[in-house]
Amino acid sequence: MSAKLQFQIEETIKRNRLDRFLFEQITEVSKIFISNQIDAGFCTINGITEARGYHLRAGDAVEIQIDLTARTSMTPEPLPLEIVFEDDEIIVVDKPAEMLVHPSKNQKTGTLLNALAYYLNRESINSEAVKSKIVRPGLIHRLDRKTSGLTVVAKTQNALGFLSRHFQKRLVKKKYLAIVSRIVADDIGTICAPIGYFAEEKIWNVKADGKAAETSFRVLKRFCDKTYLKLDPVTGRTNQLRIHCASINHPIVGDERYGGDEFARLCLHAAKLGFYHPVSNCWLEFESVPSFDIKTFSEN
């Protein structure tokens, strides 16, 4: 049910961005949902529609029409989580294959962020908790729905900003393990192919005018008709590892979209994740065992 919320800006709040102010005030829904409401014209300042980056002034009257019951990534759900590490700033989770990281247009529940919204606020969900104590899981990077493995999520705005900058500057170590079709001849190599979006086919793929993308690989083991690879994404484009493996005629097993051999799941796993801690600045590194069974291929 839609509600009309009104706020009067005090002297101490002036110069704050509109979206950040509302994000701090409205804890029932996600920041993305609030931003979308502003963009759609459901928020006014002194009766006038403003952009989300508007800097508030003392005396401004803010009014927003918003559905506080909308199912978003902040809708808590008691779903199982495999937690690898957690402190006051971050949480590292080993995501299973087939779990969406965040809600999409077609799926609003059952995602990693829904699970984290519940886990991080489990003590206050059924109590009269102070709004400022609510923890909003901050998504820093994404794993495909079909990809399993390690992902880090921020618990504070400081951690979100710090790690987002480090991901953009490529100060983070990410290693993936994959089973690909056919025998890869070279022991090591680099795949450089630009990636772009084909609107008519609604698919990401190698595209001449796409964004530059680079992936390094190393062969770990060769089976009779498949290869076990370690993949190092130098850049971070959408579906990059799946696209790059397919571009050299070695699609990932289970990747039907890009021509991989049929299998019960996509054989791609985020096995190593390393980054600097947002407060201590100490280097943290985590490893995870692939959730697909390598023995299945070695026996072929």
pLDDT value at position 300?
A: 54
Provide the whole-model pTM.
0.77
Backbone angles phi, psi at 31, to 5 degrees: -65, -40
* Cα–Cα distance, 38 to 101 (Å, whole number): 24
Half-sphere exposure of 107 (CA within 13 A, CB side): 13
Output the pLDDT for position 299: 58
Q: Domain of residue 289: give its range.
A: 173-298
CA–CA gap between residue 198 and residue 50 (Å, rounded):
33
Domain match, 161 and 177 both: no
Q: What is the pLDDT of residue 286?
A: 98
Residues 181, 214, single domain; the answer is yes
What is the domain-level CATH number for residue 238?
Answer: 3.30.2350.10
Segment 253-273, tens digit of pLDDT: 999 999 999 999 999 999 999
Residue 78 domain flag:
no
Express each pLDDT in 199-241 by its tens digit: 888 899 999 999 999 999 999 999 989 999 999 999 988 899 9
> Catalytic: 144?
yes
Last residue of a domain, one of 168, 193, 222: 168
Q: State whether 276 and 191 are in the same domain.
A: yes
Q: The CATH number of the domain where 48 resides is what?
A: 3.10.290.10
The C-alpha atoms of residue 51 and residue 39 are separated, in whole angstroms, by 7
Domain count, the chain: 3
Q: Is residue 55 part of a domain?
A: yes
In a domain, 73, yes or no: no
What is the helix (H) or strand (E) element at residue 37, kind and residue range?
Answer: helix 31-39
Does 275 lie in the same domain as 177? yes
pLDDT value at residue 130 = 47
- Are residue 290 and residue 178 in the same domain, yes or no? yes
- Which pLDDT tens digits describe the chain residue by residue (300 residues)? 567 888 888 877 767 889 888 887 887 677 778 888 888 888 999 988 888 889 999 889 999 988 776 666 667 899 999 999 999 999 999 999 999 988 776 777 899 999 998 999 887 766 554 444 678 888 888 899 999 999 999 998 889 889 988 998 999 999 999 999 999 999 999 999 999 999 888 899 999 999 999 999 999 999 989 999 999 999 988 899 999 999 999 999 999 999 999 999 999 999 999 999 999 999 999 999 998 878 777 655
Q: Is residue 77 part of a domain?
A: no
Residue 186, SS3? coil
Q: Tokens at residue 183, please? A: 């025998």
Q: Do you know the residue count of the chain?
A: 300
Residue that is last in its domain, among 67, 93, 119 = 67
Amino acid identity at 104: S
13 and 87 fall within a common domain: no
| Residue from 87, 144, 209, 225 carrying the catalytic annotation | 144
Cα 9 to Cα 252: distance, rounded to the nearest angstrom:
54
In a domain, 43, yes or no: yes
In-domain check, residue 153: yes
